[in-house]
Amino acid sequence: MSAGPLDGVRIVELAAIGPAPFGVMLLADLGADVVRVDRIEAARGNPGVAVAMRGLSRGRRSVAIDLKSGQGVDLVLRLADTADVLVEGYRPGAAERLGIGPDVCLGRNPRLIYARMTGWGQDGPLAMRAGHDIDYAAIAGALHPIGRKDTPPPPPLNIIADFGGGGLYMVIGVLAALVERASSGHGQVVDAAMVDGVASLTTFFHGLLATGAWTTDREANLLDGGAFFYDTYETADGGYMAVGAIEPQFYAALLDGLQLEPADWPQFDVTRWPEQKRRLAEVFRSRTRAEWTAVFEGSDACVAPVLTLTEARDHPQIVARDTFVDVAGAPQPAPAPRLSRTPGGVSRPTPEYGEHTDAILGEMGLTADEVRALRAANVVA
Q: Can you give the CATH number for the domain in which 266 is found?
A: 3.30.1540.10
Q: pLDDT tens-digit profile of 247-279?
A: 999 999 999 999 999 999 999 999 999 999 999
The single-letter DSSP state of residue 162 is I
Range 202-213 average pLDDT: 98
Are 42 and 110 in the same domain? yes
Residues 177-209 as b/e (b if ≥16 CB within 10 A, e otherwise) read bbeebeeeeebbbbbbbbbbbbbebbeebeeee
pLDDT band of residue 291 (cuts 50, 70, 90) is: very high
Count CB-CB contacts under 10 A for residue 147. Answer: 17
Residue 150 pLDDT exceeds 90: yes
Give the burial class of 115: count Cβ atoms within 10 A of its Cβ; 0-12 exposed, 13-18 middle, 19 or more buried. buried
pLDDT, the chain, mean: 97
CA 103/CA 77 separation, integer angstroms: 12
Provide mean pLDDT across the span 314-323.
98
Given a cut of 90, is residue 359 above it in pLDDT?
Answer: yes
Whether 119 and 90 map to the same domain: the answer is yes
CATH number for the domain that contains residue 363: 3.40.50.10540
CB count in 10 Å sphere of residue 45: 7
Residue 311 lies in a domain: no
Co-location of 65 and 182 in the same domain: yes
In angstroms, the CA 352 to CA 57 distance is 10
- Within a domain: residue 220? no
Residue 14 lies in a domain: yes
- Our CA angle for 173, 176, 182, nearest 5°, is 140
Note the helical H segments in the chain: 19-29, 40-43, 70-81, 94-98, 102-108, 133-139, 169-184, 194-201, 203-211, 248-258, 273-284, 289-295, 309-312, 316-320, 357-363, 368-376
**Confidence band for 3, pLDDT divided at 50, 70 and 90:** confident
Q: What percent of the chain has pLDDT over 70?
A: 99
**Is 245 found in the same domain as 146?**
no
Q: Does residue 218 lie in a domain region?
A: no
Is residue 112 included in any domain, yes or no?
yes
Q: Are 339 and 5 in contact, with CB atoms under 8 Å apart?
A: yes
Query: What single letter denotes the amino acid at residue 171?
Result: V
CA geometry: angle 206, 231, 332, nearest 5 deg: 85
Q: Do 138 and 90 reside in the same domain of the chain?
A: yes
> Looking at the whole model, is its pTM more than 0.85?
yes
Cβ contact 131:158 at 8 Å: no
In a domain, 315, yes or no: no
Same domain, 73 and 103: yes
Q: Which residue in 119, 116, 91, 118 sits closest to 103, CA to CA?
A: 116
Do residues 371 and 300 share a domain? no
SS3 307: coil
Please provide residue 170's backbone torsions phi and psi, each rounded to the nearest 5 degrees: -60, -45
Indicate whether 211 belongs to any domain: no
Is residue 28 domain-shared with residue 121, that is, in the same domain?
A: yes
The catalytic site residues sit at 132, 162
Please, which pLDDT band fits residue 186 given cuts at 50, 70 and 90? very high
Domain limits for position 42: 10-201+324-376
Residue 313 located in a structural domain = no
Least confident of 42-51, 164-173, 264-273, 302-311: 42-51
Confidence of residue 2 (pLDDT cuts 50, 70, 90): low
pLDDT in tens, 50-96: 899 999 999 999 999 999 999 999 999 999 999 999 999 999 999 99
Q: How many C-beta atoms lie closer than 10 Å to residue 120's C-beta?
A: 22
The set of residues, in sequence order, having a beta carbon less than 8 Å from that of 137 and lying 6+ positions away, is 143, 156, 160, 161, 165, 198
Measured distance CA(353)–CA(321) in Å, rounded = 33
Check whether residue 179 and residue 70 sit in a common domain: yes
Among 148, 141, 61, 111, which residue's Cα sits nearest to residue 360? 61
